[in-house]
Amino acid sequence: MKGAATAGGLSRRSFLVATAGTGLVLAVGDARAETGPEAAGWRANAFVAIGPDGRVTVTVKHLEMGQGVATGLPVLVAEELEVDPAQVVVEFAPADSRRYNNLFWGPSQGTGGSTATANSWEQLRLAGAAAREMLVEAAARVLRVDVGGLVAANGGVVHQPSGRRLSYGELVAVAARLTPPAAPRLKAPSEFRLIGKAGVKRTDSRIKSDGTAQFGGDIRLPGMLTALVARPPVWGARIESYDRKAALGVPGVVAVIPISSGIAVAASSFWAAHKGREALKPRWVEPAERVSTESLRRTWTALLDQPGSPAATRGDADAALGQGTQRLAATYEMPHLAHAPMEPLNCVVRLSPAKCEIWAGCQFQTFDQAMAAKAAGLRPEQVEIHTLLAGGSFGRRANPASDYIVEGVEVAKAVNVPVRLMWTREDDIAGGWYRPMALHGFEASLDERGLPLAWRHRIACQSILAGGPFAGMVKGGVDPVSVEGAANLPYAIPNLKVDLHSPKTPVPVLWWRSVGSSHTAFATECFLDELARAGGKDPLELRRALLADRPRHLGVLELAAAKAGWGDPLPSGRGRGLAVHESFHSFVAQVVEVSIGAKGEIKVDRVVCAVDCGIAVTPDVVRAQMEGGIAFALSAALFGEITLKDGRAEQSNFHDYRCLRMDEMPVVEVHIVPSSAPPTGVGEPGVPPLAPALANAIFAATGKRLRKLPIGDRV
Amino acid sequence: MFSLMVNGERHKVDAQPDTPLLWVLRDQLGMNTVRYGCGQGLCGACSILVDGEPARACQMPVSEINGRRIVTLSGLNDAVSAQLRAAWIELDVPQCGYCQSGQLISAGVLLRRNPNPGDGDIDSAMSGNLCRCGTYQRIRAAIHLAARRLRGGS
């Protein structure tokens, strides 16, 4: 499909809206065209197309879920292509593991691990530079001059000796016949006019501020049915019986279909499907063993007394624990967490004998394509994915099992019309794929100077990678994402040992914004604070002493501490805490200020954040990701908790899975460390330091050491 | 059959009486700015105005709507809404954007009642609207900016 593609009357380009001023333009659509000349213009490469009117289209291969890739990635192209961002239209790439793979992941397209900017950094600048060089060469041919006198600027090529100018639109026909350069020249950072500069606006603010942004639930195809699935309330349960007739008796219900995850009800509307699902009254055969948070806590606590699989060893921690002048021990506990993005999961699927079309906020396109193909009985290349904006994800949509996509395909296969598969909020909160619960046990010793001599850290945490397509990354019994942030502890402690237990549970677990660091940072940064207090050291001083050879950790730590006024006196009942953590190759330090009320009420007043993410391509997006990461982490630190009982989750919606609200949002200040290093991610690294900095602040204010999340309203 | 007045237009809809207005607006009238987030009146993603008062479309059976005036974000074009939208865009408030139509409805209700809200007023007016991306700080700033402009400031 090319040009103004339509699908069943749905115009993919119906939300092509220009932003004002210097803004880019986001077209919610996707790039259909193959590389090569197009009738309407020139597709320079997989990422850049230029129309005869000079309009530049940039293809974004990553999912926009709020983190700003539809803004930052086009800037990389615009910088090298020498175009005004206002001329750029943004499109989302089709699923294609060859052209649009994540360069850090091999032949797999997907978004995650805060890699979107980092893996695209050279790729998109080269794409822009290649197109620019071809346009300059085209101008040389048209004007019959040497390329030496030609300069690309502002969407055109100028012949400096004569002052003649040709717009890119006038050059596309000639450029289309040229061979792409083997090694286009990239700008030096000193030449950047967009990258790292203030004033670049998000491409999607307008459509997200007037309500026209299109999400999966907004897609309506002719004849489409809406389907909900009754899934087992207890993990591992099997269906015994259900009232098919009662469900089919609900007005609007068209079909009741057993699928691999449960019983689907397909109906003419959401409400009919919902009532039909209620009428099913399914009975389940429950497994004998039913998991509970209490039983996990008991068995995992016992595991902390047993050696686990070694993840990091330095010196002889076991021996050094018996030396030194003080010995400390502590256990930390973090709960299961749901991602709870604002948009409940959904997808639209249209099947034909040789094709499966999917509309969804897909985060793992290549997995989704493969899993959908398997469910549909097609080949992966027969699955066409229209990646839409996602109403948040925080990792939930990056599921290699493609759970909700497979459900959509299975229902569509049965009903022979397009299907919109929806999850309710209750399905989402109680439906698993959680951040795993984690227990962390520590033992440490201090020397006579109050410096840590030995650090023994044992983790019990269900593996995310084991049993899935990434199981090969588990080496020597260690799932690297269970120990990230712990095995690579940055502190210069001479004797260190980190080991891991990976107990299995029937509950499916998944990456949750910042993955392992979402629990390892809390445990390590709180326990380090405990060591500082025990050794009579200021928490900042101890970190400085132990990070002497970690300049990027130190850089963010010093910046955050200075901006927060670390050491300035606070009135009674208030406290400051800090934490620093590296995740996804970015470095973040945060200082949290809390007030404690007369009845122990916790109020987080202020969070000062310093981030070193290499070159901050779009600084305001970096700030937004830190602000958002802090709110997301604070929500979990204060309130976030899925508890299991009798094999099921006890929470079901926002009344019992409480999330941060406006009146609980602190003032957040973000400071970016200037850098010339290649950019690293920002979607996740704002999360890890918040919870430990908060617990450390509460300790500073009250003397109470909190070792279990969530903290709750009061201390 | 129910008769609804939505954004100044009359619609006749055929629906079960207990159908929440949210699903009538979305599934039958195609009004996508009213979003589904929780179905229990807990998140504010489906915020609308009913006879000028803020309401949660997921909590209102269509049978109770007869004759009442429904306004969604796309039906608002007064000065308050225009300034709020402009401030939202200027400060790049949205991240994923899913909750923002509800946020803008609630912010509009606040500014029509209180042209000069303090942070506490904003907190109480906006605390029914969840944002999982954590755009609260920018929402607060954008409401202040829009309020200032509506009062004639810059």
- Three-class DSSP labels, A102-160: CCCCCCCCCCCCCCHHHHHHHHHHHHHHHHHHHHHHHHHHHHCCCHHHEEEECCEEEEC
Contact B33, B72 (CB under 8 A): yes
- Fold observed for domain A304-336+433-702: Aldehyde Oxidoreductase; domain 4 (3.30.365)
Last residue within a domain, chosen from B34, B58, B75: B75
pLDDT at A40: 64
Q: Helix or strand or coil: residue A274?
A: helix
Q: In this structure, are B83 and B71 located in the same domain?
A: no
Nearest-CA neighbor of A333 among A581, A529, A527, A533? A527
Instruction: List the structure tokens of B117.
Output: 């809200």
Q: What is the pLDDT of residue A85?
A: 79
Contact residues on chain B for A252, CB-CB shorter than 8 A? 16
Q: Where are the domains of chain A?
A: 6-209, 217-286+345-422, 304-336+433-702
CA distances from A143 to A140, A350, A550, A631, A661 (A): 5, 50, 55, 56, 61
Contact predicate A582/A552, CB 8 Å: yes
Structure tokens at A503: 């107990």
Distance from CA of B46 to the nearest CA of A (A): 11
CB contacts of A207 in chain B (<8 Å) are 97
- Residue B147 has which token pair? 């309020």
**Distance in angstroms (rounded) separating the CA atoms of residues B84 and B138:** 12
Residue of B nearest to A206 (CA): B89
Number of domains into which chain B is organized: 2
The dihedral formed by the CA atoms of A402, A406, A409 and A411, expressed in degrees to the nearest 10: -140
Q: In terms of CA atoms, which chain A residue is nearest residue B31?
A: A218
Contact A342 B126 (CB under 8 A): no
Mean pLDDT value across chain A: 94
State residue A3's pLDDT score.
31
Cα separation, B133 vs B121, whole angstroms: 22
Which CA distances in Å does B99 have to A63, A595, B70, B71?
18, 29, 19, 17
Nearest Cβ partner of B123 from A20, A275, A663?
A663
Q: Which domain holds residue B146?
A: 79-150
What CA–CA distance (Å, rounded) separates B89 from A204? 9
Residue type, A486: A
Placement of tokens 């006198």 in the chain: A149
B36 and B21 inside one domain? yes
Alpha carbons A281 and A420: distance in angstroms, whole number:
22
Q: Do A627 and B134 touch (CB under 8 A)?
A: yes
Q: First-to-last CA distance in chain B?
A: 49
CATH class of A217-286+345-422: alpha beta
Q: Which residues face A59 on adjacent strands? A: A91
* B114, B138: one domain: yes
Peptide bond into A710 cis (omega under 30): yes
Cβ count near A274 (within 10 Å): 22
- Whole-number Å distance between alpha carbons of A487 and A493: 12
Interface of B with A in 54-113 (CB under 8 A): 72-74, 85, 88-89, 92-101, 104
Of A217, A627, A659, nearest to B132 by CB-CB distance is A659
> A6-209: what CATH class?
alpha beta
Alpha helices in A9-107 (DSSP H): 69-81
Kindly state the helix (H) or strand (E) to which residue B113 belongs, with its residue range. helix B100-113
Predicted local distance difference test score (pLDDT) of residue A5: 28
Rounded CA separation A406/A395 (Å): 18
Beta-carbon-side half-sphere exposure of residue A438 (alpha carbons within 13 Å): 32
Q: Whole-angstrom Cα distance, residue A578 to residue A590? A: 6
Positions in chain A whose pLDDT score sits under 50: 1-25, 27-39
- Residues A373, A380: contact at Cβ < 8 Å? yes
* Backbone φ, ψ for residue B101 (5° rounding): -65, -40
Measure the CA–CA gap between A402 and A400, rounded to whole angstroms: 5
Helix (H) or strand (E) holding A348: strand A346-352
User: Are B89 and A342 an interchain contact pair (Cβ–Cβ within 8 Å)?
Assistant: no
Verify whether the Cβ–Cβ distance A389 to B139 is below 8 Å. Answer: no
Q: Do residue B42 and residue B103 come from a single domain?
A: no
Q: List the structure tokens of A700.
A: 């500073």
A610-620 burial, b at 16+ Cβ within 10 Å, e below that, comes to bbbbbbbbbbb
H/E stretch holding A587: strand A586-596
Domain boundary residue among B60, B75, B90? B75
Residues B6 and B68 in one domain: yes
Q: CB pairs below 8 Å between A and B: how many?
A: 187
A416 token code pair: 């022979």
Chain A residues whose beta carbon lies within 8 Å of the beta carbon of residue B96: 65-66, 208, 341-343, 389-392
Instruction: Report the C-alpha gap between A517 and A684 in whole angstroms.
Output: 9
Q: Are residues B98 and B128 in the same domain?
A: yes
Which amino acid, A327?
R
Q: What's the CA dihedral at A210, A214, A217, A222 to 10 degrees? A: 120
**B83 plus B138 within the same structural domain:** yes
CATH code where residue B25 lies:
3.10.20.30
Nearest CA in chain B to A666: B137
Amino acid symbol at B73: L
Burial call A203-218: b when 16+ CB within 10 Å, e when fewer = bbbbbbbbbbbbbbbb
Q: With CB atoms and an 8 Å threshold, state whether B134 touches A630.
A: yes
Residue with tokens 């459509």: A207
Angle at the Cα of B59 from the Cα atoms of B55 and B64, rounded to 5 degrees: 85
Q: How far is it, in rounded angstroms, from Cα A330 to Cα A525?
A: 13
Do B6 and B46 belong together in one domain? yes
Report phi then psi at B102, rounded to 5. -65, -40
For residue B93, the chain A residues in CB contact (below 8 A) are 205, 209
Residues B101 and B71 in one domain: no
- Last-in-domain residue among B52, B75, B98: B75
Cβ–Cβ under 8 Å, residues A498 and A459: yes
Query: Is residue A344 within 8 Å of residue A423, measured between CB atoms?
Result: yes
Nearest residue on chain A to B62, judged by CA atoms? A271
Q: Which two structure tokens, joined as six digits, stand for A16?
A: 């092509």
**Confidence at B67, pLDDT banded by 50, 70, 90:** confident
Q: Contact, A576 vs A593, CB < 8 A? A: yes
Q: Which residues of A touch B40 (CB under 8 A)?
A: 425, 653-655
Q: Which residues of A touch B97 (CB under 8 A)?
A: 66, 204, 207-209, 213, 389, 391
Order of strands across the sheet that contains A17-18: A17-18, A25-30, A88-92, A56-60, A48-50, A41-43, A36-38
Query: Which residue is associated with the tokens 């970016």?
Result: A672
Cross-chain CB nearest to B98 (options A391, A629, A662): A391
* Interchain CB contact of B41 with A (< 8 Å): no
d(CA A86, CA A77): 13
What are the φ and ψ backbone dihedral angles of A702, each rounded to 5 degrees? -125, -15
Q: Is the ipTM of this complex over 0.90?
A: yes
B6 and B64, same domain (yes or no): yes
Q: Which two tokens stand for residue A213?
A: 């942004």
B69 and B14 inside one domain: yes
CB A332, CB A528: distance < 8 Å? no
Determine the Cα–Cα distance for residues B93 and B89; give it in Å rounded to an integer. Answer: 7
Local structure of A176: helix, strand or coil: coil
Starting at the edge strand found earlier in the chain, the sheet holding A574-583 runs A574-583, A586-596, A602-612, A667-672
Task: Identify the burial level of A62 via C-beta atoms within 10 angstroms of its C-beta, where 0-12 means exposed, 13-18 middle and 19 or more buried.
Answer: buried
Separation CA A252–CA A541 (nearest Å): 67
Cα torsion angle, A562, A563, A564, A570, sign: positive
